[in-house]
Amino acid sequence: MFPKDFLWGGATAANQYEGGYLSGGKGLSTSDVIVSGSHTRPREITWINPKTQETGRTGIGFASAMSFPVGAIPAVLEDEYYPSHVATDFYNHYVEDIALMAEMGFKTFRMSMNWARIFPNGDDSTPNEEGLEFYDAVFDECIKYGIEPLVTLSHYETPLALAINYGGWANRKVIDFFETYSSTVFKRYKGKVKYWLTFNEINMMEFAGFMAGGLMVDTPQTKAQAAHNQFVASAKAIRTARKIDPTIQVGMMLGYQPTYAYTADPKDQLLILEKSQTGLFYADVQMLGEYPKHRLLKYKREGIVLEDTEEDYQLLKEFTHDFMSFSCYGSSTYTVHTENLEASGGNFIMGIKNPYLETNAWGWSIDPACLRISLNTLYNRYHKPLWIVENGIGWDDELTEDNKVHDDYRINYLKLNFKSMEEAINLDGIPLIGYTMWGCIDLISAGTGEMKKRYGFVYVDRNDDGEGSLNRYPKDSFYWYKKVIETQGKDLD
């Protein structure tokens, strides 16, 4: 049994779904210069050296620390294909898409706002009215159907000008620009949007500085500073929200999955301890209000010095988040004995293949227990309501000649995941607010930029070369999810 007021829904992000990358006065954002990688490689950014006209690409994540020639700047290159520029065009399809969500019975819709649509350069003194109107129209459409918007302020996109002119989130000035942005939208959408998230998967700063924080120099020092600045910016956003409308709830968002030890060797258990410390550090600051000691000691050991103030730490203590949200797709397994073992797939949080688990074509583990385990771990540590804001399975779905998608694999995956959530609620007493399935309408992949890695209940006709009508077709899982919501999760068959 799920609670009566459980918020069932789906999730998206502007940079993977919205498109309209130059429409309505929008400025460029960091995601606009990211091109496709491949199935196994992370995506890359494109750059140009304005003096020499030399152009190129450089990695943004995994093991590849970002580096490009001195003087080069990230830019959109004419001969490159950028999947996110059109994505699946929510910008021009939002009326139709929200109607489809309503048909499924969504109670909530998680989306993100593109900061550069509101402040094209990030440091502008006035917002772009056309951008504000676009989101007004989107929220009005949700409200028409009784769908509660859940809005992420920053999901892997920073106005590109802030990266180029300020070095992105490593610069404390960006805290002020974010304060202007967040207070502008809290005021504008007061009464329309109650639930907000500050930074999507804030812990991705650990792995991909350009994507998570517009960092032009990606080093342990700049990443630590950028994370600190985002913590302070989040705390300030909570302070502002409470002044503007005390009913607003601001959540933090962590990319999380349980970590399993491959063997009983104590060395493996210690490895898991370290992985969990890193994984939970970001949530510890945002939910508990202070830096854990192990992180401060690590910074000391590595010679990392933060540019900070006493007020920063007071803000962190006073303005912790109202609820905690997280993404969870599976689990990861680690060992020190890696010889002859196959590596697992995943975005940043990887490890080795767990022999007890199946995977999808991208090597991501399928592990329904991950939800019950995560919910218990996070609630027992933070004691705040939880919200699963991303979960789902990427699959190369096939559209039949009569425009159907028979995605039993997705239905089976979700069924087992929902049972796991139900156990956490009913057996463990975890206060779970809601669930938003990732990529509820097909969108481009964050990790690879592919279209063929589809998550949705609705198929969008667009391929990896940017061809297709962009028409929408409900998959079998669309009708299944509709029934799940109608029966409040009682009928999972």
Residues binding ligand BG6 (CB under 6 A): 13, 16, 200-201, 255, 327, 347, 390, 394, 438, 445-448, 453
List, in sequence order, every residue forming a beta bridge with 73; answer none if it has no partner. 48
Comparing CB distances to ligand BG6, the nearer of 240 and 332 is: 332
The residue from 18, 141, 157, 390 that is catalytic is 390
Q: Is 390 a catalytic residue?
A: yes
What number of other Cβ atoms are within 10 A of residue 363's Cβ? Answer: 16
Q: Which residue has the tokens 């690879």?
A: 448
Q: Which residues 6+ apart lie within 8 Å of 301 measured at CB?
A: none
- Minimum CB distance to ligand BG6, residue 247 (Å): 27
- Minimum CB distance to ligand BG6, residue 12 (Å): 9
Comparing CB distances to ligand BG6, the nearer of 215 and 440 is: 440
Comparing CB distances to ligand BG6, the nearer of 157 and 312 is: 157
Q: CA-CA distance, 41 to 29, in Å (whole number)?
A: 22
- Minimum CB distance to ligand BG6, residue 202 (Å): 11
Q: How far is CA 239 from CA 183, 244, 316, 431, in A?
A: 10, 9, 10, 24
- Minimum CB distance to ligand BG6, residue 446 (Å): 4
- Minimum CB distance to ligand BG6, residue 123 (Å): 25
Q: Which residue has the tokens 């399935």?
A: 437
Q: Are 21 and 40 in contact (CB under 8 A)?
A: no
Query: What angle is formed at CA 375 by the lines to CA 371 and CA 378, rounded to 5 degrees?
Result: 135
Tokens representing residue 93 in the block: 């399809």
Q: CA-CA distance, 365 to 489, in Å (whole number)?
A: 24
Query: What angle is formed at CA 90 by the lines to CA 88 and CA 94, rounded to 5 degrees?
Result: 145
Q: CA-CA distance, 60 to 5, in Å (whole number)?
A: 40
Alpha-carbon Rg for the chain in angstroms: 21
- Minimum CB distance to ligand BG6, residue 263 (Å): 28
- Minimum CB distance to ligand BG6, residue 439 (Å): 6
Q: CA-CA distance, 155 to 14, in Å (whole number)?
A: 8
Q: Which of 150, 142, 189 is nearest to 434 (CA)?
A: 150
Amino acid at 92: N
Q: How far is CA 424 from CA 109, 324, 376, 380, 433, in A?
A: 23, 16, 7, 12, 12
Comparing CB distances to ligand BG6, the nearer of 392 and 489 is: 392
Comparing CB distances to ligand BG6, the nearer of 200 and 417 is: 200
Segments in 335-383 forming alpha helices (H) = 369-382
Q: CA-CA distance, 173 to 366, in Å (whole number)?
A: 42
Comparing CB distances to ligand BG6, the nearer of 97 and 268 is: 97
Comparing CB distances to ligand BG6, the nearer of 115 and 438 is: 438
Comparing CB distances to ligand BG6, the nearer of 6 and 362 is: 362
Q: Which residue is nearest to ligand BG6 (CB)?
A: 447
Q: Are 481 and 104 in contact (CB under 8 A)?
A: yes
What number of other Cβ atoms are within 10 A of residue 349's Cβ? Answer: 22
**DSSP-derived pairing of the beta strands 358-359 and 365-366:** antiparallel
Q: Which of 49, 30, 208, 219 is nearest to 114 (CA)?
A: 30
Comparing CB distances to ligand BG6, the nearer of 39 and 419 is: 39
The residue from 201, 206, 422, 450 that is catalytic is 201
- Minimum CB distance to ligand BG6, residue 204 (Å): 7
Number of H helices, E strands in the chain: 14, 18
Q: Which residue has the tokens 């900061």?
A: 115
- Minimum CB distance to ligand BG6, residue 66 (Å): 18
Active site amino acids: 201, 390
